[in-house]
Structure 1
Amino acid sequence: MRTLILLRHGESAWNSKNLFTGWIDVDLTSHGEDQARDSGRSLRAAGLLPQSVHTSVLTRAARTAALAVEAAGTDAPIARHWRLNERHYGALQGREKSEILREFGAKRFRQWRRSYDLAPPPAPVDGTGDAAHDARYADLPRELLPRTESLADVTARLLPYWHDAVVPDLRAGRTVLVVAHSNSLRALVAHLDRLGREELLDLNIPTGMPLRYDLDEDLVPLVRGGRYLDPRAAAEAAADVADQGRRRLGTTR
């Protein structure tokens, strides 16, 4: 059996403001830092000490990984890679979610957030947060730097890293922790569980909640969907993620 733990980063400064973040690099809030440390302590209590850690190059995920590993009491190496970055939300980045919901309607809002193959309008060249001006991506050909992405695009860029970096760690028998983002983790869960497009619409991954997958020798999940270490809290937090955008319009459940 192989063990994989998925963890969405702790609450970021823009999560707390209900903004589309994408590739914009923002830090954790103090609550997000607490979530990261709590995640590490939960892993330690469950006997799941990571032996290999993979995260994105974005600060909110990288810091979550570092804080969680420290709290777990392990010195596991941490690898960072842009292929684990959040989905690029194009022209939506930096905009408040309830404003987008109001402007474009519930159907388009949900499609942009949760569908498989619909990308938001592209961000302008040289606009705010253009990755072409970020030193972390200086060695990448410009054509690899997105201006918008669908979940299908995220899947296409993520899977090479999964196969080349994460899978070898799993096959070597290491307990692997992947700390990433809502949509990069949705793409990975969809790959693991072979989710259909309609199922993807209802897949919401909460911040700071470790999700355990036990995999067979072919890296097929023994339990489809895995198991959150705290299932009740994760279900409540996932429902809150689904409600983003409606909260500030006074239409939450």
Structure 2
Amino acid sequence: MKRVPTLSAATGPDTLHQALGHAISDKRLEVLRRISVSGSISQAAREVGISYKAAWQAIDTLTSLSGTPLVERTVGGSGGGGARITEEGRRLLVLADELAQARDAVLARHAGAGASASTGAGLGVQTSMRNQLPARVSGVQSLAQEDPLVLVRLCLEDGQELTSSITRESADLLGLRVDLPVLLLCKATAVEVADQMPDLSAGQCHLSGKVLRIARGAKRDEVTLALDGGGTWVGFAARPFGCRRGQRAFALMASSALVIALDPHQS
């Protein structure tokens, strides 16, 4: 048997929680689960409804996050080879099931107090990205038949729209579809704030809001915008930034800087 991909011996099973933290809300764990049943990556891809390439991306991501091989593949042979999950792969699936059951139980206990299934959406995401907003998918557009990227149109609660550029495999793994609620993330350092509406170039998008806070810096000012539909968006402007608190300003970022995440109870 050959294990793929090969990882450093310094990693180990104690890092399985990393895979759970990032993969529980999309199809990656389901790919692993299907492999455990069918013994075939191609069969798992067909059952989940994604491409063979996307299935391998799922396994590669889980393996990198967990720090230990989760799938063993047999190369060659009369049957063309197969795949099976490792002991750590089985352990990961058990942990995922127990975490899902525990979360369901917590939400059920609080349902009588007015909590909904969406309560706590995004709380499981630990990231350095300060910009996090709920949104809904309003469209998924392929750039071209053979292009590996797709454009995902996203609508915020105040009606503003953004476009995120992601790989086709990622869109398949996330199961993106129209009206799907998602969590939109962006690094503050990827956001440029301006006091005038900028001319957008290809691959750029923008948000507008009122200046909530300005933190003066030596070379740039950090600006927090309060969006009309609630929530904030943080970016940076050349010093000195000309707007005052309460004035409207604009945040500019590349579509490739916008990250899409799912809440497992919203998919």
Taking structure 1 as the reference length, what is the TM-score of the superposition?
0.26
Larger radius of gyration: 2
Bigger proportion of residues as strand? 2
Higher relative contact order, chain-length normalized (CA < 8 Å, sep 6+): 1
Taking structure 2 as the reference length, what is the TM-score of the superposition?
0.25
Bigger proportion of residues as helix? 1
